[in-house]
């Protein structure tokens, strides 16, 4: 049986792979938000992804997203995000890790790389996760960046609904305060998310509330003030 993968990772890997080992999907959302921050200037965005199972434990995936001249990423119109991930089940515990690249085709100097480690367990209908994402020191992000987060995905019994929630803390060193604003607009901060997804076959409909504790930030390069509370809706189709 194909292993389960947490909801927060579905942006990198689409729905469970078909018998061919290839999966994919497309999604339209009212805002493309990452860790409580808008990457599409608060406007609708389209994402598409494809994943390939290289082995029973290793997947390679690529996600493309429309950013629509994102101020946060120097006016970039698109994001390409390749990911290589390892994931295993060990009894009641699941664990994994991987590496993800963030490529902005029209702004190549703003790309960066991030690693991830995660561990989870299943308790009744609830899947619980502890996740660490770390981007080592890079000029494009003005230092390094570490996010530690907890996540819960709960399948509502006998319904097509899944409720998910997460809370995370981003921190890191700062060598260039201007570039560091891309991932941490006001220094270290907390983010949270609560969402509900309805899945029927290949169709997924979702609504989510996201927020941060970021205060007002001074205007400047890479400053997108769309960091507050927001309700977003999305619709996705997988294959």
Give me the pLDDT at residue 9, please.
46
Give me the pLDDT at residue 20, please.
53
Give me the pLDDT at residue 174, please.
96
Check if the beta carbon of residue 105 is closer than 8 Å to that of residue 66.
no
Give me the pLDDT at residue 213, please.
94
State the Cα–Cα distance between residues 59 and 14, nearest whole angstrom: 11
Architecture of domain 7-238: Beta Barrel (2.40)
| Parts of the chain with a pLDDT under 70 | 1-20
Give me the pLDDT at residue 224, please.
85
State the Cα–Cα distance between residues 103 and 53, nearest whole angstrom: 22
Give me the pLDDT at residue 158, please.
93
Extents of the domains making up the chain: 7-238
End-to-end CA distance of the chain: 17
DSSP conformational letter for 17: P
Give me the pLDDT at residue 192, please.
97
Give me the pLDDT at residue 219, please.
80
CB under 8 Å to 78, separation ≥6 — which residues? 64, 65, 66, 67, 104, 105, 106
pTM for this structure? Answer: 0.90
- CA-based nearest residue to 30, from 188, 206, 149, 159: 206
What tokens were used for 224? Answer: 């997108």
């Amino acid at each position: 049986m194909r292993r389960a993968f947490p909801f927060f990772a579905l942006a990198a890997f689409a729905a469970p792979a078909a018998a061919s080992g290839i999966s994919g999907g497309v999604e339209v959302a009212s805002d493309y938000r990452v860790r409580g921050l808008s990457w599409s200037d608060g406007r609708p965005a389209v994402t598409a992804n494809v994943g390939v199972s290289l082995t029973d434990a290793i997947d390679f995936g690529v996600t493309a997203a429309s950013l629509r001249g994102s101020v946060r990423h120097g006016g970039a119109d698109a994001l390409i995000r390749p990911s290589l991930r390892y994931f295993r089940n060990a009894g009641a515990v699941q664990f994994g890790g991987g590496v993800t690249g963030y490529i902005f085709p029209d702004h190549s100097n703003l790309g960066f790389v991030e690693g991830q480690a995660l561990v989870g367990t299943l308790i009744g209908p609830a899947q619980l996760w502890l996740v660490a994402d770390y981007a080592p020191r890079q000029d494009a992000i003005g230092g390094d960046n570490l996010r530690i987060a907890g996540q819960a995905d709960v399948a509502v019994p006998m319904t097509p609904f899944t409720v998910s929630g997460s809370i995370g803390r981003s921190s890191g060193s700062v060598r260039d305060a201007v570039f560091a604003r891309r991932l941490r607009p006001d220094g270290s901060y907390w983010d949270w998310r609560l969402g509900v997804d309805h899945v029927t076959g290949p169709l997924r409909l979702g609504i989510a509330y996201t927020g941060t504790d970021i205060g007002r930030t001074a205007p400047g390069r890479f400053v997108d003030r769309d960091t507050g509370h927001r309700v977003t809706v999305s619709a996705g189709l997988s294959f």
